């Protein structure tokens, strides 16, 4: 029976991974299919997964839609992918209109069809990021207290939801002349004086440190994740030393430089003890590039939810598009730094790491999991645009050659490049699996 919880967690991780991957693959392949159809290219098979077919149906256009047993990808088989003939149910072979095949379609149609897969992944990412912004809303100005977070009794406060924050310990909350963050200026005291506007009256109320030691997010596959720290946990002591501010936690972790730390947590009214060792992590720097830091893998937040207001569709879409751009540029920057040896190859994740991350994000709730699908969709779209034969970017590279040279590359050249591309992809997949399981578990 001791293996039951372990098996349950593993099964949950696999289900989350399959769901995330299936959504992304389905969108990617549907992009190829629907744009190909718009361009006059017929599809014979739309498959979600590989291997033995579990379910299939034929639509009125002659496309076979199927779900296969191995949910690790998918594909669209266009007419003429193997040859320019159609095999009937009676075994007879009939020549088909070459214009309706992938091989015989104009260059623009083939280019649009191949590029549609990554583009649809990008669209999915933008839609998810946009939906997240619209669901969360944005903070109203001036900053107003929403719901107060659940904290231990020692963090009790006189503040209420609806209070408008004016200043903390004499520092104006929204001072346009201040360049330093407010939290860095506050005295390191467990109780602070807040000036708030309540019912059109300024009052002074006592409350906890502005950013206490409550855990707002746990980074998948981090030391905190491995130690089973949960969102909502409050760190009350580290190695027996009481803490009340997230800044204290950061300073202790930095000073420990990877040494084991014993954390005392408050969780739903009870005390939990965990031990973990912070890890060196290559973290994106605000000014660009990466910086190496010791991290547990948790995030902090204010002790209250900020009152929010609705974000319009257009404004949210712009923020969603910016989120896609940030995801892509950060990923490319990380890859460049890995290639030049400036950051660790542990920043690369393969199927195992993605599966573990899927499970961790799903455990943190539907919103976190859906956001992860958006981020992963952006990454899948970006990777598919790499100019590597076998990937969509490789096909687009062949099309670019055809556009310049006014002729298709020879079959022999395509075969050689495809073999090299496949070898490269398999090598990278093997390395990332080794990375996830042995080198950077």
Pairing of strands 241-242, 234-238: antiparallel
pTM of the model: 0.85
The helix (run of H) or strand (run of E) holding residue 33 is helix 4-38
How far is the CA of 179 from the CAs of 167, 183, 312, in angstroms?
Answer: 16, 12, 30
Count of other CB atoms within 10 angstroms of residue 201: 7
How does strand 93-95 pair with strand 85-87?
antiparallel
- Report the 10 Å Cβ neighbour count for 44: 17
What is the token pair recorded at 209? 């440190």
Residue that is written with structure tokens 């409350």 in the block: 207
From the number of C-beta atoms within 10 Å of its C-beta (0-12, 13-18, 19+), residue 332 rates as exposed
Predicted confidence at residue 352, as pLDDT, reads 87
Please report, in tens digits, the pLDDT of each residue of the chain (441 residues total). 344 444 457 788 889 999 999 999 999 999 999 999 999 999 999 999 999 999 999 999 999 999 999 988 899 999 876 554 444 444 444 456 788 999 899 999 999 999 999 999 999 999 999 999 999 888 888 889 999 989 999 898 999 999 999 999 998 887 666 656 788 889 999 999 999 999 999 999 999 999 999 999 999 989 999 999 999 999 999 999 999 999 999 999 999 999 999 999 999 989 999 999 999 888 777 667 777 889 999 999 899 998 999 999 999 999 999 999 999 998 898 888 888 888 888 888 888 889 889 998 998 889 999 999 999 999 999 999 999 999 999 999 999 999 999 999 998 999 999 999 999 999 998 888 888 887 776
Using an 8 Å Cβ cutoff, are 221 and 206 in contact?
Answer: no
Contacts of 154 (CB under 8 A, 6+ apart): 190, 236, 244
């Amino acid at each position: 029976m001791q293996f039951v919880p372990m098996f349950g967690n593993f099964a949950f991780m696999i289900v989350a991974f399959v769901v995330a991957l299936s959504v992304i693959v389905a969108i990617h392949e549907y992009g190829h299919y629907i744009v190909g159809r718009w361009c006059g290219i017929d599809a014979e098979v739309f498959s979600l997964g590989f291997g033995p077919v579990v379910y299939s149906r034929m639509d009125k256009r002659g496309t076979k839609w199927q779900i296969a047993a191995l949910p690790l990808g998918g594909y669209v088989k266009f007419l003429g992918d193997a040859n320019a003939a159609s095999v009937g149910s009676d075994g007879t072979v009939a020549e088909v209109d070459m214009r309706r095949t992938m091989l015989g379609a104009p260059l623009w149609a083939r280019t649009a069809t191949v590029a549609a897969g990554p583009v649809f992944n990008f669209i999915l990412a933008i839609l998810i990021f946009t939906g997240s912004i619209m669901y969360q809303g944005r903070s109203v100005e001036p900053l107003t207290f929403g719901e107060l977070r659940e904290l231990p009794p020692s963090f009790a406060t006189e503040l209420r939801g609806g209070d408008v924050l004016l200043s903390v310990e004499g520092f104006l909350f929204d001072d346009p002349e201040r360049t330093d963050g407010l939290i860095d200026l506050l005295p390191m005291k467990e109780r602070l004086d807040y000036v708030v506007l309540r019912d059109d009256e300024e009052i002074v109320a006592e409350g906890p440190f502005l950013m206490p030691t409550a855990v707002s997010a746990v980074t998948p596959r981090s030391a905190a994740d491995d130690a089973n720290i949960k969102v909502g946990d409050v760190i009350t002591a580290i190695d027996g030393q009481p803490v009340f501010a997230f800044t204290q936690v950061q300073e202790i972790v930095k000073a420990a430089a990877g040494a084991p730390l014993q954390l005392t947590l408050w969780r739903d009214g009870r005390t939990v003890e965990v031990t973990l060792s912070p890890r060196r992590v290559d973290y994106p720097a605000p000014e660009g590039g990466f910086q190496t830091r010791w991290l547990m893998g948790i995030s902090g937040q204010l002790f209250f939810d900020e009152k929010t207001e609705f974000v319009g569709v257009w404004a949210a879409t712009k923020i969603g598009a910016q989120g896609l751009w940030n995801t892509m540029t950060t990923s490319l920057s990380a890859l460049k730094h890995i290639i030049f040896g400036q950051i660790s190859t542990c920043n690369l994740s393969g199927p195992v790491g993605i599966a573990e991350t899927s499970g961790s994000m799903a455990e943190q709730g539907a919103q976190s999991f859906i956001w992860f699908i958006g981020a992963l969709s952006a990454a899948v779209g970006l990777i598919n645009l790499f100019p590597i034969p076998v990937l969509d970017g490789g096909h687009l590279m062949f099309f670019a050659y055809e556009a310049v040279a006014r002729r298709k590359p020879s079959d022999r050249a395509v075969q050689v490049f495809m073999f090299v591309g496949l070898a490269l992809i398999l090598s990278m997949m093997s390395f990332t699996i080794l990375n996830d399981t042995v080198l950077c578990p």
